[in-house]
Structure 1
Amino acid sequence: MSDSTVTEPEGRAQQTLPRTVTGEGDQRVLHRLRTPRRPRLWFEILLIAVSYWTYSLIRNAVPEQKAQALRNADWIWTAEHHLGIAVEESVNRAVNSVTWLIVGMNYYYATLHFVVTLGVLVWLYRSHPGRYAAARLALFATTGVALVGYYLFPLAPPRLMNGGGFVDTVTVHHTWGSMASGDLKHMSNQYAAMPSMHIGWSLWCSLTIFALASVPWVRLLGLLYPTATLLVIVATANHFWLDAVGGALCLAIGFTVARLWYGALPYALPRTPHPQGSLGARP
């Protein structure tokens, strides 16, 4: 009896010990994953390349529901008329009358969306390594939410509407500026206008530059970038105003994801990771 009385508590203690150690180990792993560290160049290049390839694959794999996309476009256009903001056609035709301006906007639409975003990522990597991973997570989460929007709400851009009166500026001026015009339309889902990632990504770039840049005129350019992008996507008839609202909402969700994971907004984290990898913004 005495032997069993002595060994039973010890046995229970031995049984509970591995659970405690395992729990602490899981917490350490989670804490390590949530702690900003200096990014590795080879990994970031591979991650961005694979992520963009995956994004393009999923976006273009979404069924091109033409009839539904056109109905949704009519609904958006009607809603904007009720809201008194349906001026996209007027902007499109007015800017299209100035050839050099609309041609420049076509190329702006085709290139800066990628060039500026990659440029900001490179700048973050080099100058703000402690904030890089959190900012990158916000951008990736924003894009992931957009993929859900493309699937659930197929939407034709204004220039593909039936009888909308919009000018497809890429086709008219024979410029390369849209994945939904010319030969490029066979490589991309034409009915993925909602939400606008031109706005989502440009707002991400703008907030990042404004929050972290030290040169006043650079911060000003950061603020102007999404404004110019909004004018371009409307003038080229690639998006409605409400598509831009959708892009901004996706970005809000993206920053929320980063905030929940890292315990702080990307710009509130330390500029450089702590040598031991501890999180400066969290006790």
Structure 2
Amino acid sequence: MGNVTVPDIGDSQQWNSRPAWKLPGWAEPVIVFLILFGAMFFTRRKNCAIFDRRKAYYTSLLDEPDESSRDSSDNESSSINLLSDDDLFTTTKNPPKRRRVCGCLIVDTPNTSRFRNNWHSRLLQKFPFLIEMFYWIINYAFYRMTAVLSQRIFAATGIWEVAQSHGIQVLEIEQFAPLIHWLFPIRERNVQQWFMAGHQDALTVLNRVYALIHIPGTVGFIAWYYYVAPNHAVFATVRRTMTLTNFLAFLTFIFYPCMPPRLLPREYGFLDTVRHDDAQSVWMSGKYVNSLAAMPSMHFGYSFAIGCTLIYHSGIFRKKLEKGEMRKSLLSKLVWCAFGLAYPTLILVTIVSTANHYFLDAVVATLYVLVSFGANEIFYVFLPLEDWLLWLIRAEKPKPTTGERFR
């Protein structure tokens, strides 16, 4: 593999505009809080009371008349069997759940329906979106640990040097790797130089897009999609896909730290536009931030998953509707499809022009999303753990409200 072509840095690489106005540090948390609070409000169960035990247990509009024939909205229903009344977590009235793990192993887990009238169960029943918030808090906690784990693994060699060598390696792969180098006819630095030469105001806007759209934008999508998805099974598939993409990316962050282009030595031709505009997201700063996690780009991974979801629901490429889905007009189909194409395109331009990611980062993120979609049901192996957690806190998992608005 050859050496990366190093460009001359001319006057076009110099800033001639002032740094952009910076959002106050409290702005992003407030935005995220408002999104989550709004999601809780709009997806709340209106005829379910937290403090009135008589109205605590709610029968969803989505329930079939025959409960014995109903599958759960997450396709996670399990057959049950009766054990002794003396068992630690079961009674004849509340027999245990029987979970199938990895398609073969049968595990009995506690039946938490006995806790449905506990106050926190009633709270979850009233605001079922709280469960989704819990899942994403776990995601964020795992991300915050990637920097710590990676630093420990590469403590002997020095993580900064390792990440820099990986960043240069990515550039070499894009330029010289057999079979795939043709995928990268445009160089990242050429994109940034185009913006620097007469389009710096646009680059400032893209810096803001990069900082604000990752967490608030993704949280906003999850909140919106929980409300508009035709049924919870479809929503859960998208959520599991994005979550598995996260964990695949986290593993890569730990074992393949990669320096973003903007942090490479200046002779490689990139400028740190984020530092100029002070456009670092408040969620991506602090003691445990992983600034050497360019590979893959989760900005693009999320946008690709969201774009595919919008294109799928446009209905242009399929005739069969999902359960609970309403048929769209031609104009509505075109609008959904246009947003599905425009959003990942905007993010791709953003991550490259701001020198936060390489083109290869977006390619790998795309592959991770596709793999995660095909294997998203792997998360079913955690159902027994979820059952035990709910039993330990004496709560029952709420029925989701996704899809109820169509009834």
Same fold (TM over 0.5): yes
Distance 1:178 1:141 in 2: 23
Partner of 2:270: 166
How many Å apart are 1:159 and its aligned residue? 1.3
Partner of 1:88: 188
Query: SS in structure 1 opposite 2:219?
Result: helix
How many Å apart are 1:45 and its aligned residue? 2.1
Distance 2:352 2:147 in 1: 22
- Report whether the alignment pairs 1:145 with 2:248: yes
Partner of 2:355: 237
How many Å apart are 1:28 and its aligned residue? 4.2
Within the candidate set 22, 29, 37, 2:99 is matched to 29
Distance 2:219 2:281 in 1: 19
Deviations 1:60-100 (A, max 9, x none): 32334111111111111112122253611111111123121
Distance 1:179 1:96 in 2: 25
- One-letter amino acid matched to 2:269: G
Q: 1:157, 1:240 within 8 Å by CA — same for their partners in 2?
A: yes
Q: Higher mean Cα deviation, 189-198 or 59-68?
A: 59-68
Partner of 1:46: 134
Q: Structure 2 unaligned runs (5+)?
A: 1-80, 84-94, 102-107, 110-124, 152-158, 315-327, 381-401
- Report whether the alignment pairs 1:69 with 2:163: yes
> Residues 187 and 261 (structure 1 numbering): CA distance in 2 closer, same or farther, change over 3 Å?
closer
> Residues 194 and 207 (structure 1 numbering): CA distance in 2 closer, same or farther, change over 3 Å?
same
Partner of 1:57: 144
Q: 1:88, 1:241 within 8 Å by CA — same for their partners in 2?
A: yes
Distance 2:222 2:282 in 1: 23
Distance 1:77 1:180 in 2: 28
Q: 1:116, 1:205 within 8 Å by CA — same for their partners in 2?
A: no
Q: 1:179, 1:190 within 8 Å by CA — same for their partners in 2?
A: no
How many Å apart are 1:185 and its aligned residue? 7.0
Distance 2:272 2:344 in 1: 22
Partner of 1:175: 278
Q: Higher mean Cα deviation, 58-67 or 139-148?
A: 58-67
Partner of 1:268: none
Distance 1:55 1:210 in 2: 30
Aligned-pair identity in percent equals: 25
Q: 1:210, 1:219 within 8 Å by CA — same for their partners in 2?
A: yes
- Report whether the alignment pairs 1:224 with 2:318: no
Partner of 1:280: none
CA RMSD of aligned residues (A): 3.1
- Report whether the alignment pairs 1:247 with 2:350: no
- Report whether the alignment pairs 1:202 with 2:303: yes
Deviations 1:173-214 (A, max 9, x none): x33146799xx4755222111011011100111111111244
Q: Higher mean Cα deviation, 149-158 or 204-213?
A: 204-213
Partner of 1:7: none
Within the candidate set 188, 194, 200, 1:99 is matched to 200
TM-score (norm 1): 0.73
Q: 1:60, 1:189 within 8 Å by CA — same for their partners in 2?
A: yes
How many Å apart are 1:59 and its aligned residue? 2.4
Q: Which has the higher helix share?
A: 1
Distance 2:239 2:143 in 1: 18
Distance 1:87 1:148 in 2: 27
Distance 2:283 2:139 in 1: 22
Within the candidate set 204, 207, 211, 1:110 is matched to 211
